[in-house]
Chain A
């Protein structure tokens, strides 16, 4: 699906089905340098099981036009406008890494637009090594390589893939190296407001964390879970790129949480 926000084209993956705003909607937000393909093995399940799916390429990323955000705070109003443009009043919002920070800013901007929030491989703040940011500014391919080396866990580095014949690390590197990684990383490094938004959240929340996460260590994720008052799902043996390297486990945890929220909403 394609639409225009702020005079720039926006590409939105809908999980292989036409978008229907009447169905409960799950909004997936990718992380630094990523795009909708982060969620290839989660979105289609939701789209084929009673949900509508929105997985946009954020501005300046992959198939979307425009300029990348220079601050996380810019993403809140943009996401609010985006939801209005597609006719969605509220959604289950799922964010991976930086995508969760964007979800927090949506919550700050328009809290009524969240039915639930899920944090995947992330924390309330994502400090970024200045050397990585500087590398991304000078050479995005090299920075993508550094990100993938740290970001993926040992199983992915052994070349295991849930999709036969594919190499998730090489795929991520190819996507990241063409996207505005430096702007994303700088925005993450500069973002300080996450803890305040987390404290103000009133919607159901969940955390799906990776035990071998070197980008947002599980300790930081555990602190986020504690702030949210939730028991996190910790997927053992995998790294920061959970939706890509452990797609089935990520989907299972995500399904369980969103279905539980839906059940409670139906009962209420």
Chain B
């Protein structure tokens, strides 16, 4: 049961937001490859601009194919509405600038994706928005970091690359009691494994490039409004005061549980122009339709590979979010905590490089959440210029191999990794 329907998630993933009667009986969601939409009359045009009725005007703001994806993702997450964007980063940026103005403050988990950290640490700072980074699972540190001008608490439900599970019920309780919404990047989890709104979070952001799209074919992002935050608490005048560029609208009064996404539609989508293309929306919809099935297989392959790696020569350690025995991890992820894992190989930096050079089925690239198994060795790529000490300060060991476990037959993944481990052992001498 979700909040949007009596249908269950697997059914929602296939049907929500589109019925074939609406478009010549086309069973698949049609691609509306159009910039704009002819008005049926002068009065009809006026009514769209006056928000007297819903509808599409220009594909930078909304598009019928994209809207199906939005409605489907909102339903899967248990939200009141969603907006899709050109990428996960644009979804985050739209969220940050919708909630924050110059002089405002963000509290972020210190364990987050590097590009997001850069946005918070450098880009937003140039516009007068500052961020303090904390151990998000330390309640005292979180409470202490929230200031009167704090506009959001940010974390990832499973952090990238640290794979720490954020204790969403505790974080949400602390933030909401302080009148601050919790924004969660749930990319590594997907709604098939964890729905942050059910754990008290208020806004969910995804890079739908990853497991939701699932095939490494299209870049996209999504923002889901939980509809569960009181924007009228006095801290968010941008939600409660008249917004001059849009009919003087007061979003909280007008839209209530969808105030946040409607503000994004009205402002950030206009200003940033980071619209998801209808073709990419179509490609990602193909992934959504099989999300539940794929995530089950991702998780089972990951569990098998994790156990297998732990028994192999040449593996010095294995890390997965479920290593954390705290009760909230199992409570938040009853069906498995995703398909990312890290492990160390014999031979340090050289061993890692040898592993990467030797595997052939696994793809060496800077992405995660593909249907195929992906590997990355930060020591020889993203962090190759850092010293061992600097890498360890960043929480990344020289021997670390990051794996996004794919959907191949697990025996084939194991065989491929066995070759890589032999090479690492040889490199270790």
Contacts and interface: CB of A to CB of B under 8 A. Distances in A.
A174 B253 contact: no
Interface string B16-46: 1111000000000000000000000000001
Contact of B256 (A35, A156, A157): A35
B62 A164 contact: yes
Contact of B46 (A48, A161, A166): A48
A146 to B, nearest CB: 10
A155 B21 CA distance: 11
Interface string B54-72: 1110000011101100111
B80 interface: yes
B344 interface: no
B51 interface: yes
B319 interface: no
B346 interface: no
B53 A164 contact: no
Interface string A159-189: 1111111110111011100000000000000
Interface stretch (B5-13, B124-132, B400-408): B5-13
B253 A11 contact: yes
Interface stretch (A37-45, A99-107, A228-236): A37-45
Given A158-B19, A167-B81, A170-B80, A175 B3 contact: no
Given A164-B70, A167-B79, A41 B54 contact: yes
B258 interface: yes
A175 B256 CA distance: 8
B81 A157 contact: no
17 contacts: A13-B254, A16-B51, A16-B247, A16-B254, A48-B47, A62-B256, A63-B253, A157-B7, A159-B15, A160-B17, A161-B67, A161-B71, A162-B54, A164-B66, A165-B62, A165-B71, A165-B81
A165 B254 contact: no
Contact of B4 (A35, A62, A63, A167): A167
Contact of B249 (A16, A157, A169, A174): A16
Interface residues of B, number: 53
Contacts of B66: 164
A175 B52 contact: no
Given A40-B255, A41-B53, A171-B227, 19 more contacts: A45-B53, A63-B232, A145-B1, A155-B19, A158-B5, A158-B19, A159-B5, A159-B12, A160-B18, A161-B17, A164-B56, A164-B265, A165-B83, A170-B2, A170-B80, A174-B3, A174-B80, A175-B257, A247-B54
Closest 6 CB pairs of A and B: A159-B16, A163-B54, A165-B70, A174-B257, A164-B67, A164-B62
Contacts of B63: 164
A106 B18 CA distance: 41
A74 interface: no
A16 to B, nearest CB: 6
Interface residues of A, number: 36
Contacts of B55: 162, 164
B4 A170 contact: yes
Contacts of B254: 13, 16, 37, 40
Nearest to B67: A164
Contacts of A219: none
Contacts of B51: 16, 44
B295 interface: no
A170 B78 contact: yes
Contacts of A70: none
Contacts of B247: 16
A6 B308 CA distance: 71
A62 B227 CA distance: 14
A173 B67 contact: no
Contacts of A251: 53
Contacts of B232: 63
A71 interface: no
Contacts of B4: 159, 167, 169-170
B75 interface: yes
A149 interface: yes
Interface in B149-188: none
Interface in A235-268: 247-248, 251
B67 A16 contact: no
A19 to B, nearest CB: 14
B82 interface: yes
Interface in B253-268: 253-258, 261, 265
Contact of B54 (A62, A63, A164, A174): A164
Nearest to B62: A164
A177 B53 CA distance: 26
A128 to B, nearest CB: 20
A44 B52 contact: yes
Interface string A23-39: 00000000000010100
B3 A169 contact: yes
Contacts of A175: 256-257
Contact of B79 (A155, A158, A170): A170
A202 to B, nearest CB: 32
Interface string A1-19: 0000000000101001000
B228 interface: yes
A158 B81 CA distance: 14
A198 B46 CA distance: 38
